[in-house]
Amino acid sequence: MHKMSLPQSFISKKKLILSKLAVPTEEYDDLSPKGSVDEGIRELIDEINSFDGCCTTSSCAGRVSVFLEGKKSSDDFRSAVQDEAGIDGIPDVRAEKGAGFGGKGGGGRWLYVSHDRISVGELSRLEDEGTLCELLGMKINEGNITNSIPENKKRDVRHIHFKFEPMILHVLTASIDQAQKVLSAALQAGFRESGALNLISITSEPATPMVGIRCMGLTLESLVGVFHETIDQGVCVVDNGQLGTLMRISNERFEENRKRIARFRLLLKEAMNPMEKKKVGENGEDWEDSQARKARKRAEGLRRAQELKEAKERSEEIENQDSEELPPGTTAAPVDYSDIKT
């Protein structure tokens, strides 16, 4: 297979991006709250960048976050709209250090960010102690603190949002053909809101499409608190049980997100290396056709039947031995085969 010819603009951009990614993890910094490439997709990023016609430009493995809005104003609204547009019209990958609507430059900030599930034990402990809201950067609403907010200030109250977001990834490609491969793998893997832009070049060079990989179906968002100006503190407006429910749902979505990432990774490998194509099932496991499945099931059935037969023979031998040792006129108790798996 001949090596594809890459547009010079693509080569230059990829060289710059790879030089930044080559920096040691402890020295690397980007505009995300974490400041580095998420470990959960570091290998995926490296694989994508190893393909000649692909280069990642921004990414997030998926995360749970709690953020405080900035002060609302018309300027903030325009800023939020511009942020949503992002580079080349594709929404930016959470690159801001501010937070959502009203968040940029208006005092908005992250109260909690995690790219990993919280353990069941840790979550239960925090719920029992009643300190889950503190982990998420808020104060317990003791004595209904929120009721003390003056009526004339309620319109300007800054809200605190809880949000789960699945993986989002932007991949710059060297051609429409490469973009199609990336987009097809993403859609098949369950990232249904994925799309591509810059399909037509406005210069003499070939188009270098940008593919945005995302899935809005796994997104979860809820209002969980407000910012109290008097005490300069975010106050939780839901109880620990409700916060726990949100965290548990997020844990489930982290797992589904992980499965989709694994499937996307396999499908993209197949698309880029068709000679090594290997079908996979829904959750990323090896795929088998109906004949292979039938043969496997038959072999499993024969194996179980043989195990049952051998177990019965062993039981009969034991029963016979016991019968020989019993006093005249007595019989052995029947053998229970209910525990033998069939």
Question: For residue 34, which of 65, 2, 13 has the smallest C-alpha distance?
Answer: 65
Strands 159-165, 109-114: parallel, antiparallel or unpaired by DSSP?
unpaired
Return the residue matching tokens 């903030």. Answer: 76
What are the CA-CA distances from residue 141 to residues 89, 129, 130, 235 (Å)? 41, 15, 12, 6
Pick from 17, 21, 12, 23: nearest CA to 41: 21
For the chain, list the domains and their CATH numbers. 8-276 (3.30.1960.10), 288-324+335-342 (no CATH)
Strand 220-228 and strand 233-236: the pairing is antiparallel
Query: 139 pairs with which residues across the strands?
Result: 235
Q: What is the pLDDT along the chain (342 residues), one digit of tens a residue?
A: 455 688 888 999 999 988 888 776 555 455 555 556 778 899 999 999 999 999 999 999 999 999 999 887 655 444 444 444 443 444 444 444 444 444 445 778 999 999 999 999 999 999 999 999 999 999 988 766 666 566 666 667 889 999 999 999 999 999 999 999 999 999 999 999 999 999 988 888 888 999 999 999 999 999 999 988 777 889 999 988 999 999 999 999 999 999 999 999 999 999 998 776 555 555 555 666 666 677 778 778 888 888 888 888 877 777 776 666 656 655 555 555 555 554
Going across the sheet that includes 168-173, the strands are: 54-60, 168-173, 210-213, 195-197
CB atoms within 10 A of CB 53: 22
CB within 8 Å of 203: residues ≥ 6 apart: 9
CB 32 within 8 A of CB 60: yes
Q: How far is CA 70 from the centre of its chain?
A: 27
Helices 42-50 and 8-21: angle between axes, nearest 10 degrees: 150
The helix, strand and coil proportions of the chain, stated in percent and rounded to the nearest 5, come to: 45, 15, 40
